[in-house]
Structure 1
Amino acid sequence: MPADNHSLAGVAAEPGVVKPDPIVKGSKITRQFGGLKAVDVEHLEIQRGVITALIGPNGAGKTTLFNLLTGFDVPDSGEWSFNGTSLQKVPAYKVARRGMVRTFQLTKVLSKLTVIENMRLGATGQRGEKFWSAPFRALWSSQEDANTKRADELLARFKLDAKREDFAGSLSGGQRKLLEMARSLMVDPELIMLDEPMAGVNPALKQSLLGHVKSLRDEGRTVLFVEHDMDMVRDISDWVIVMAQGQIVAEGTPDQVMSNPAVIDAYLGAHHDTDITELDESSLEAAAEAELDEEATHG
């Protein structure tokens, strides 16, 4: 664990544990779809300034929880806050303006706009978007120039500057992930939430993405990400939260969580005397799906 994240050193490895300086807090958050309770989180805290991984088998409720926290979905019950301010009934665009942004498992780049146009759209409070000022370039040109300068700096940082004038739809899957991450930084966020940043990314770009995620923490930002790649989780995470069947079943450092019998239970449905990183991801998913099928058959 990096030296600047020593504040988590004495935190107990247990579900819903209280953190020294949480940037996000949530309690009794539930979301039900028909007869399925997709999210049932009693208490959640995300520590400021660290990289937290949110893991669990398919269908555990990870992305649904992301959607609830960021205003893309509405919970049935519960309360949650960002920097001590409630986010209940706050729409997604206002959540982003407050400094809490997210990316998606399936990237949301605007394919028929160029890369630089996608970046400019990430900036908030643009005077040129207002009805009364849009016809008068003099009122907003300096702001757009500043936004373009920041966008170009970020494109260079993410090694996308050579693609500046290309249509975003022409980028590879990995490059789209990079673009989405770069665009999220246009609002200078405090918290960045990444939904499976490594999904569909070729090995050549994985190390680049890993380095960028670490650099976000080095800048003092907070990162929360959903991921199935256990090697990545162990490599860059300061803290890990494990979900299963909508609930948080374990928390701790990567080493504590990977050897936790409750975590192995969550993936395989039975205790196994092994480390979770030694298990093949496809086998984990197949076993989890088989367990769900069995429950459905006998339920």
Structure 2
Amino acid sequence: MPADQPHGATAASQLSGAPAAPARLAQAALRDVPWEIGVAKPDPAIVVDGVTRTFGGLTAVSVDHLEIQRGGITGLIGPNGAGKTTLFNLLTGFDQPNAGTWSFDGRSLGRLSPHQVARLGVVRTFQLTKALSRLTVLQNMLLGAKDQRGEGFFRSLVPGVWKKEEAANTEKALELLARFKLDAKKDDFAGTLSGGQRKLLEMARALMSDPKVVMLDEPMAGVNPALTQSLLGHVKDLREQGMTVIFVEHDMDVVRDISDWVVVMAAGRVIAEGPPESISQNQAVVDAYLGAHHDAPLTIEEEDQVLAEAEAAIAREEGTTGEVLTSERTDGEGTQR
């Protein structure tokens, strides 16, 4: 059963009449949820059923059932090759599964293209940033705005149709750039930004479409410590604004710091779910990351068995090597080769 969590802050906010913060609402909603694979959530935003994706004979993703709680931060963790990014690609339309269904707010996302998924409110960032290097930072931001009237050919010829909307989008983009401390770079080419600044730009651009779900693929990868703290703050802000966040991360300190719930994948499957504090206690997770019995001392019998197997392998190798050397030293008539 989940451990009891302090609720004094929530009680205090109720006594004062102030609404509870989204962070505490998400934690409260998940407090009594069992730590079980595929467990039902009180208010799921995304539901995955029987999704599989194979590449030749390799099964990259095989998820029987997964629900993502609305309004919370869900960390998706697992060793390299676990299928985390492939699952992101499937949920956002960048790839299609061999089988299964998945939905957002009860609406199926199957067979939708990435831009159609984004219009419904599910956006993502990439492990390798996708900023357009030869456009300015501000121009990159304006590309993220949706339903722009000037995108059509004939409407673009009539500035009166889209000028006011473009001004509003520009104001919104500048506000987001200021929030992410990129406003001083607005006229610079995106290709001149550092790796960390590109991560910030990609996150800011995603917010231009007013998303409901934000999926972040390793947002902290390759980012210096100073910008890491800034990115962490921005991820928490997304939750405070009522968005649902799913992020892939390898740094367990980061996962424990910001996650309300953690989903662990290995070999394409979900092997554990629960709050951050439960994950380090799960033997399946420890084995997936470090290997079974990584910290357990061998018994005398196990040591003898390992030693015997090693000696047998060495003997076989030496025997084979001796035979090869003998055959190379002489030919059929006893002369040296």
| TM-score between both structures, scaled by the size of structure 2 | 0.80
**Matching residue of 2:24:** 3
Q: Which segments of structure 1 move beyond 3 Å, counting only runs of 4 or more?
A: 271-274
CA contact (8 A) 1:264 1:271 kept: no
Which of 76, 85, 96 does residue 74 from structure 1 map onto?
96
C-alpha displacement of 1:129: 1.1
1:159-174 to structure 2, matched below 5 A, reads 159-174=181-196
1:273 deviates by: 6.0
Partner residue in 2 for 1:203 = 225
Matches within 5 A, 1:48-59: 48-59=70-81
1:87 maps onto 2:109 in alignment? yes
Q: What do residues 87-119 of structure 1 show as CA deviations (whole Å, max 9, x unaligned)?
A: 010111000010000000000000000000000
Pick 1 or 2: higher relative contact order, CA cutoff 8 A, min separation 6: 1
Correspondence for 1:102: 124
* Matching residue of 1:218: 240
* Partners of 1:14 and 1:251 within 8 A in 2: yes
Does the residue aligned with 1:187 lie in a helix, a strand or coil? coil
Aligned residues between the structures: 274
Cα deviation, residue 4, structure 1: 1.5
Amino acid at match of 1:269: G
Q: Which residue of 1 aligns with 2:145?
A: 123
Question: What is the distance in 2 between the residues matched to 1:197 and 1:258?
Answer: 22
Choose the corresponding residue for 1:228, options 240, 250, 257: 250
Q: Please give the secondary structure, in 2, of the residue aligned with 1:108.
A: coil
Deviations 1:22-81 (A, max 9, x none): 000010000000110000000010000000000000000000000000000000000000
The answer to whether the 8 A contact 1:56-1:243 is kept is yes
Q: Retained in 2: the 8 A contact 1:59–1:245?
A: yes
Residues 90 and 155 of structure 1: is their aligned pair in 2 closer, same or farther, counting only changes over 3 Å?
same
1:185 to 207, 224, 240: 207
Residue number in structure 1 paired with 2:198: 176
Contact 1:15 1:248 in 2 (8 A): yes
String of CA shifts for 1:130-182, please: whole Å, max 9, x gaps.
01101111110001001001000100000000001000000000000000000
Report the equivalent of 1:238. 260
2:216 is equivalent to residue 194 of structure 1:
yes
Amino acid at match of 2:146: T
The answer to which of 244-253 and 262-271 deviates more is 262-271
Match of 1:278 in 2: none
CA distance in 1, matches of 2:131, 2:25: 34
Distance 1:271 1:217, change over 3 A: farther
Q: Which letter maps to 2:204?
A: A
Of the candidates 174, 194, 210, which is equivalent to residue 152 of structure 1?
174
TM-score normalised over the length of structure 1:
0.90
How far, CA to CA, are the matches of 1:108 and 1:69 in structure 2? 18
Deviation, 1:262, is 0.8
For structure 2, the residue ranges without an aligned partner over 5 or more in a row are 6-22, 297-337
SS for the counterpart of 1:213 is: helix
Partner deviation per Cα, 1:235-289 (whole Å, 9 max, x = no partner) = 1000000000000000000010122111011112204569xxxxxxxxxxxxxxx
Structure 2 Cα separation of the partners of residues 43 and 255 of structure 1: 22
Q: Does the aligned pair in 2 maintain the 1:261–1:271 contact within 8 Å?
A: no
Post-superposition CA distance 1:172-198 (Å, at most 9, x none)? 000000000000000100100000000
- Following superposition, the deviation at residue 127 of structure 1 comes to 1.1
Q: Does 1:31 align with 2:53?
A: yes
Give the distance between the partners of 1:148 and 1:18, measured in 2 at CA. Answer: 41
Counterparts of 2:114 and 2:37, CA distance in 1:
27
